[in-house]
């Protein structure tokens, strides 16, 4: 069993993309076969926002979102844990500035760096920042 930090971009790809990205599918498979993901506290807010945007764009209906939440909840209960680490505003700001990230993505990067865990993300700027920061990326 391995552990890694899971970015919301991967989880949202499972439900929003018309065709699930192969990387996202590989991460979901790992989670269904005993690997465990750790997410920062903002992960739930980011996932909820992704569903709100998908509904507004008419990519998902409310019924689609309800089903997605049920499926995500089952996976979360089995293999996604909430990180207890929090970071101060100054630290997140410094990381965001240093790596040209949003403060949200800086939290994923800091979580992975602090816990020495690999990071699973589809977000290109976050992937590039992780590589520059010496954070391993989860390989499918």
Is pTM, for the whole model, over 0.75? Answer: yes
CATH pick for 3-133 out of 3.40.50.1010, 3.40.50.2000, 1.20.1090.10, 3.40.470.10: 3.40.50.1010
State both tokens at 107.
């939290």
Look at residue 18 and tell me whether its pLDDT is greater than 90: no
Q: Domain locations in the chain?
A: 3-133
User: pLDDT of 68-110, one tens digit each?
Assistant: 999 999 999 999 999 999 999 999 999 999 999 999 999 999 9
With 0-12 CB in 10 A as exposed, 13-18 as middle and 19+ as buried, what is 115?
Answer: middle
The rounded distance, in Å, linking the Cα atoms of 97 and 140 is: 29
Q: How far is CA 38 from the centre of its chain?
A: 9
pLDDT-derived band at 128, boundaries 50, 70, 90: very high
DSSP 118: -
Asked if residue 114 lies in contact with residue 1, where contact means CB atoms within 8 angstroms, the answer is: no
Query: How many whole angstroms separate alpha carbon 124 and alpha carbon 102?
Result: 12
């Amino acid at each position: 069993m391995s552990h890694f930090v899971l970015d919301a971009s991967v989880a949202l790809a499972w439900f929003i993309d018309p065709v699930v990205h192969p990387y996202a599918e590989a991460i979901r498979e790992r989670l269904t076969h005993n690997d465990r993901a750790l997410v920062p506290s903002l992960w739930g807010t980011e996932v909820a926002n992704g569903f709100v945007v998908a509904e507004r764009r008419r990519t998902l209906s409310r019924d689609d979102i309800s089903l997605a939440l049920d499926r995500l909840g089952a996976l979360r209960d089995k293999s996604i844990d909430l990180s207890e680490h929090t970071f101060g505003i100054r630290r997140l700001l410094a990381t965001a500035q240093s790596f040209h990230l949003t403060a949200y993505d800086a939290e994923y990067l800091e979580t992975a760096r602090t816990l020495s865990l690999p990071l699973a993300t589809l977000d290109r700027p976050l992937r590039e920042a992780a590589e520059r920061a010496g954070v391993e990326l989860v390989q499918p």
